Amino acid sequence: MDLTKTQLVDLKSIDRTMVIALQYKESHNIAKRPLYHANFPALLHRNTALRLKNANQQLRKNNLRLVIWDAFRPHETQLALWDACGHDDRYVANPHRNPSLHSHGCAVDVSLMHLDGSPAAVPTGFDDFSARAASDFVHPDPAVQNNMRYLKEAMWAAGFGTLPQEWWHFMDKDYKTLPFIDSSKLPPALQTMIQSTR
- Give residue 1's pLDDT band: very low, low, confident or very high (50, 70, 90): confident
| CA–CA gap between residue 95 and residue 100 (Å, rounded) | 6
Domains and CATH numbers, the chain: 8-196 (3.30.1380.10)
pTM over cut 0.85: yes
Strand ranges across the sheet with 107-114: 19-20, 64-70, 107-114, 166-172, 160-163
Question: pLDDT tens across 81-103, in order?
Answer: 999 888 888 778 888 888 899 99
